[in-house]
Structure 1
Amino acid sequence: MAATVRTGRWLWHWRHNDLRRPSDRAEGWILLAALALAVTGGAASGALAAGVVVDSAEQQQSARREVTATVTEAASRASPDDTGFGDDRVRTAIRWRDDGGRVHHSDTKVPPNTEKGTEVPLWIDRDGRPATAPPSTGELLGGAAATGGLTALGVAGGVMLTERGARYALDRRRIRQWEREWEVVGPYWRRKAL
């Protein structure tokens, strides 16, 4: 019995009722359209956003490659990186050769007390400049899922807020209609009551 009552509450906009106004019917259609748009629009926008994140990460992965660099200065504990984010690696000078045999020099972070001559991995971009490592598969999937989920929730939330705004506007319109009708009917009822 409770399921029937609950279903009746959700479907009251479409059931036959002599007191139902056109604005009640409009409210029902607005709610139905908002729910459909929130679900389909949220899912589509979430999938699109996740796809953009995956495409961007795949471009980063294809634009970067890992090479082996050689430490040219011993890394001591005396020169910690000043980022303040708890990274205990230190910055030191390195060199590496590109495919054409040219030697490049730069600096990178390495573990403390790394000896001169130690080989370390280095990611470079297409132009041969040092770059950050591309995201791992786990980071890629996590970022895509988070971006897609948040985008879907944002779109669905925006649609439902718009639906609430439309219902608020309908409520204001109904109140104004009731006030106008009461101005006509109210004096007649007051006279009868006296």
Structure 2
Amino acid sequence: MSDRQFIPIRIAVLTVSDTRTMEDDKSGQTLVGRLTGDNHILADRKILPDERAQIADQLRAWCNDPDVDAVISTGGTGLTGRDVTVEAHRDVYEKEIDAFSTYFTMISADKIGTSAIQSRACGGVANGTYLFALPGSPGACKDGWDGILRYQLDYRHMPCNFVEIMPRLTEDQRRK
């Protein structure tokens, strides 16, 4: 960490599941607990079914909301027919953060071995908002937050982090 002051960001959490409710959404609650425990702000929280258009519409809505800086979704990143979260994210991304997937897989492989290849965790940016899709288990949410997002969403993390470039994410739109 550096001498920089912490800057809390506003994060929305989306659980993608055909069966979960707020009462039994352990993965969503894991993310909420971790992000608020690290002094970020929970901007919003929703649960949606595994429906690509609904997921993409919600991601777009949050990307257009000036009170949301980042979105973390959990669930729907696997290989089954109902797993459409990654496709929904990619429908919205302007730029994909390719190394997020790679690094998440590296962290997962240390814990679950070759089973890590079944995850399609991904990250990207749209309209100045960061979007991350994590698998739907509390362990994967812990790994994604504790191993990557805790640092990259902390302005104090050096040598670089996502927060310090947030003001520049939409600079191409200002030039027009």
Question: What range is the shorter-chain TM-score in?
Answer: under 0.3
- TM-score norm. by structure 2 comes to 0.21
Larger radius of gyration: 1
- TM-score norm. by structure 1 comes to 0.20
